[in-house]
């Protein structure tokens, strides 16, 4: 194969084939440089907007445990609001529940 590359070095069609190792090395170098840089930038953005890292599966599993065991709708709604406030951190959260005969409209 190297004989083929050496034979094609003078040919214009060899340009990409002959430079493949150089291209690969440069792409890997750029990735090695910019991956840590992108992580630092993401940390700065997270810190700027007061975001906390959380594992969505853990949060959902904890809320599923509460939802499975809780029978009081007010406590369940308060728990849902708490989960949303701690993970997403919106300015406001509201839960709308359809009034039933047992629940009086507030």
What are the tens digits of pLDDT across the range 59-79? 888 999 999 999 999 899 999
What tens digit of pLDDT does each residue of 11-44 get? 555 566 678 888 889 999 998 988 889 989 988 8
Place of tokens 């728990």: 79
Please report, to the nearest 10 degrees, the dihedral formed by the alpha carbons of residues 62, 68, 73, 76 taken in order: 0
The pLDDT, as a whole number, for residue 53 is 65
Angle at Cα 63 formed by Cα 42 and Cα 80, nearest 5°?
Answer: 85
**Cα–Cα dist 40/30, whole Å:** 16
What's the pLDDT score for residue 50?
Answer: 66
Q: What is the pLDDT of residue 5?
A: 53
Q: What confidence tier does 47 reach under pLDDT thresholds 50, 70, 90?
A: confident
Question: Per-residue pLDDT for 86 more than 90?
Answer: no
Per-residue confidence (pLDDT) for residue 93, from 0 to 100: 92
- Asked whether 74 and 91 are in contact (CB, 8 A), the reply is no
Alpha-carbon distance 101 to 76, whole Å? Answer: 18
């Amino acid at each position: 194969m190297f004989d083929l590359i050496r034979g094609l070095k003078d040919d214009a069609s060899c340009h990409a084939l002959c430079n493949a190792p150089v291209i690969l090395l440069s792409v890997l170098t750029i990735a090695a440089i910019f991956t840590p840089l992108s992580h630092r930038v993401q940390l700065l953005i997270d810190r700027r907007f007061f975001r906390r890292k959380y594992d969505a599966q853990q949060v959902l599993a904890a809320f599923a445990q509460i939802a499975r065991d809780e029978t009081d709708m007010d406590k369940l709604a308060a728990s849902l609001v708490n989960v949303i406030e701690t993970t997403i951190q919106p300015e406001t959260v509201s839960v709308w529940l359809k009034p039933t005969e047992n629940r009086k409209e507030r």
